[in-house]
Amino acid sequence: MGGFARRWRLVALALLGLIAAGCATGRLDATKPVGENAQQIDGLMRLSGWMAVGVGILVAAAVVTIIVKFRAKPTDDPDDLPPQIHGNRKAELTWTIIPTILLIFLTVYTLPTVFALASQGDGITIKVEGQQWWWQFSYDIDEDGQYDIVTANDLVIPTGEEINLEIHSNDVIHSFWIPQLNGKKDAVPGRVHDWRISSNEPGIFYGECVEFCGLSHANMQMRAIALDPDDFDRWVQQQYDGQTQARDVAPAEGTPEAAGATLFETHCISCHVVDGAYESAAGGNANLLSGLAPNLTNLMGRTAFAGALYDTYLPDGSLNIAELREWVRNAPNMKPARADNQQGMLDFSEVLTDQDLDNLVAFLKTLGSPPVLPQ
């Protein structure tokens, strides 16, 4: 092999290594399940993986043995061919029966998991809606058929409960995947797909849309925030408090917040809802839904914005004002979208002055309080 080919091979190997390493070091990690469903899937994956490794080793060993044992020797007469045979019943039966046994074994282990994953849990039910290009989550906490809490990007759940999800799509096919909590489930227009997630421990678990759904598919992310039951109750109360505050507490006149509220009314409420305070042009705030863009009632209570692409708070705990402000100024610049087709936020850079942006951010800061984080 020439020097060039050898070097090329080394580069290819190094690249392969890097790619393989990427599988386990990203924020989407299916090898560290924290919930029952994800653990079952992980168990199956390991079982079939190790079986494949075993088969691979046996086959490779057989190939190497045959190559070495039956290679041509310098003393061989090139005209003297080994005995020519047609078929070998023993060998053919062996390589039919062994894989059959292995597959039956795998089927027996897989089927109960398939049924277990399809069953419903006894925890709360959350409506999940995928749309280009973000996720919305609606909670009917008091189970009266009305949604009490609506969030975007952050899916907050209590630990130790099997959470039922009703997965919808408002436009094209998306796929819901939070690998540490369960496998993938498609969100299909006109259909409701039941799914279940759970976490045994508090934490933040990252998820993404995993069905190609257009321009910002790769930017359609989400986070599951699993809280101890007590913390989850605190979170629910915080959401209600945010709604009450938005409805009952108007910013004091003459403040930047008040100026921001006016701007919000002018530019934002045709798509966004703030429960009680600004009803949506899309049909009021029944069920808190705008249908077009995230409900912003408790914006400050979320860990992320813009399809969970950006952190709401910096590592030191302060508000990520720079990116929030830039997002309001020119959203398509931070996340490719098609505002002309009602997919994503408009570019306001020609509309809002620096002062306007400061006032709007001041107003946004009044929407809810900092998130309840896993302990």
Stretch that binds ligand CUA, among 87-95, 100-108, 209-217, 315-323 (CB under 6 A): 209-217
Q: Are 137 and 126 in contact (CB under 8 A)?
A: yes
Stretch that binds ligand CUA, among 105-113, 211-219, 343-351, 358-366 (CB under 6 A): 211-219
- Shortest gap between Cβ of 213 and ligand CUA (angstroms)? 3
How does 163-199 read in b/e, with b if 16+ C-beta sit within 10 Å?
A: bbbebbbebbebbbbbbbbbbbbbbbeeeebebbbbb
Residues 115-174 that bind ligand CUA (CB under 6 A): 130, 133, 174
- Shortest gap between Cβ of 131 and ligand CUA (angstroms)? 8
What are the C-alpha distances in Å from 207 to residues 211, 230, 240? 12, 24, 26
What are the C-alpha distances in Å from 213 to residues 26, 32, 106, 188, 319? 22, 27, 33, 11, 31
Q: Which CB sits closer to ligand CUA, 36 or 211?
A: 211
Using CB under 6 A, count the residues that bind ligand CUA. Answer: 9
Q: Which CB sits closer to ligand CUA, 129 or 275?
A: 129
Instruction: Tell which one of 36, 129, 161, 211 touches ligand CUA (CB under 6 A).
Output: 211
Q: Which CB sits closer to ligand CUA, 8 or 212?
A: 212
The Cα–Cα gap between 127 and 148 comes to 12
Q: Which CB sits closer to ligand CUA, 174 or 196?
A: 174
- Shortest gap between Cβ of 360 and ligand CUA (angstroms)? 28
Q: Closest by alpha carbon to 368, among 292, 312, 330?
A: 312
Q: Which CB sits closer to ligand CUA, 174 or 302?
A: 174
Structure-derived torsion over alpha carbons of residues 145, 146, 148, 151, reported in degrees to the nearest 10: 100
Q: Which CB sits closer to ligand CUA, 34 or 220?
A: 220
Q: At what angle do helices 354-364 and 321-329 cross, to 10 degrees?
A: 120
- Shortest gap between Cβ of 138 and ligand CUA (angstroms)? 18
Sites of contact with ligand CUA (CB under 6 A): 130, 133, 174, 209, 211-213, 217, 220
